[in-house]
Homo-oligomer: A and B are copies of this chain.
Amino acid sequence: MDWDEVRIFLAFAREGSFSAAAKRLGIQHSTVSRRIQALEKKLATPLLERSASGYELTRAGEELRISAYRIEQELLSFEAASAGQSNEAVGELRVTAIANMASTILMPIFARFSAANPNIDLRIEVTNDSVRLAEREADVALRQTNAPGETLIGTRLTTVASAVYGSVGYCKAYKSGQFDEKWIGVDCCDYHRTWTKQACPTNEHAFCVDETSLTVAALKEGLGVGYLPCFLGDAEPTLARAREPEQQHDLGLWLLYHRDLRNVKRVTLFREHMQREIKQLVDIFEGKQEAIR
């Protein structure tokens, strides 16, 4: 029995299709298909069967999935332990961050880390949906939240304040009482969706976006007002605050990683780097206007 086929099967069981599994594994779907076939043949047991929508695991397949998961955990924790021992700042470090942050304020920080640690190849990946660090989809996750997962450990880097923004022109006209505020419908994350709903209970939006960068662009066009993290809104000279930030909209910026990685050099280095750098930007994140002017 080829143990590597179990790894491939696990990817398939997670993703639900050969194609998706292949994509994650970075191999061809035909290979996934063939190797799972080979596995079934060797075990003399079908592991999956066609169903109405996609595939469904058989009982044996389900059990193998569980076993494979345990094996994965076993190997991941071994890898983490062995990396912790060698204690060298080498290897790959996969960081997942939120799009709007990674492409703006964080990028120079990443760049400096990379320059300071040339032997660590840093891979930044943008993922807005929650990433499964237990399965090591990434080594480190940067997340905005007030309730970080329990099984993960990490640091609260800073507080991210948000406020209501509009274009400079829009805000001026609005404040002089020319018309009611129009809210842009946002669907980029749970927080912004909820806050918008609270601020604009009628839920009437003439314009909707599902991505923070689109919110910025829409606001610039004078289409209305909407929530933005201050570090984004304040950085745009054509935008102005329609309301000042409120504490209830504060979010923690967390740097999270799996317990097993807590002693791995490249992770601790990255954590310390982020803490140092973010500390200098705390005013920007917390929306202290003085920091801008």
A14 at the interface (CB under 8 A from B): no
A52→B70 CA distance, assembly (Å): 37
List the B residue with the shortest CB-CB distance to A61: B82
Task: Name which of A73-81, A109-117, A283-291 contacts chain B.
Answer: A73-81
Whose C-beta in chain B lies nearest to the C-beta of A8? B3
Give the chain B neighbours of A75 by CB distance below 8 A. Answer: 1, 3, 6, 67, 71
Given known contacts A70-B74, A85-B60, A43 and B6 CB-to-CB distance under 8 angstroms: no
Interface of A is mostly: helix
How many residues of chain A have a CB within 8 Å of chain B?
Answer: 30
Q: How far is the CA of A91 from the CA of B42 in the complex (A)?
A: 9
Say whether, besides A64-B78, A70-B74, A78-B67, A45 and B4 are in contact (CB < 8 Å): no
A2 to B7, CA, bound (A): 8
The answer to whether A202 has its CB under 8 Å from any CB of chain B is: no
Let me know if A85 and B45 touch, CB within 8 A: yes
Across the interface, do B90 and A78 meet the contact criterion of CB distance under 8 Å? no
Report if A172 contacts B (CB, 8 A): no
Q: Closest CB of chain B to A40's CB: distance in Å?
A: 10
| Cross-chain contact of A74 among B71, B77, B79, B83 (Cβ < 8 A) | B71
Task: Determine if A86 and B45 form an interchain contact, defined as CB atoms under 8 angstroms apart.
Answer: yes
User: Please, how many angstroms separate the alpha-carbon atoms of A2 and B5 in the complex?
Assistant: 9
Q: Which residues of B contact A86 (CB under 8 A)?
A: 44-45, 60
A16 to B265, CA, bound (A): 32
A44 to B78, CA, bound (A): 13
Q: Which of chain B's residues has its CB closest to A77's CB?
A: B67
What B residues does A90 contact at CB under 8 A?
Answer: 44
- Cβ of A63 within 8 Å of any chain B Cβ, yes or no, is yes
Shortest 4 CB-CB contacts between residues of A and residues of B: A4-B4, A3-B3, A60-B82, A67-B78
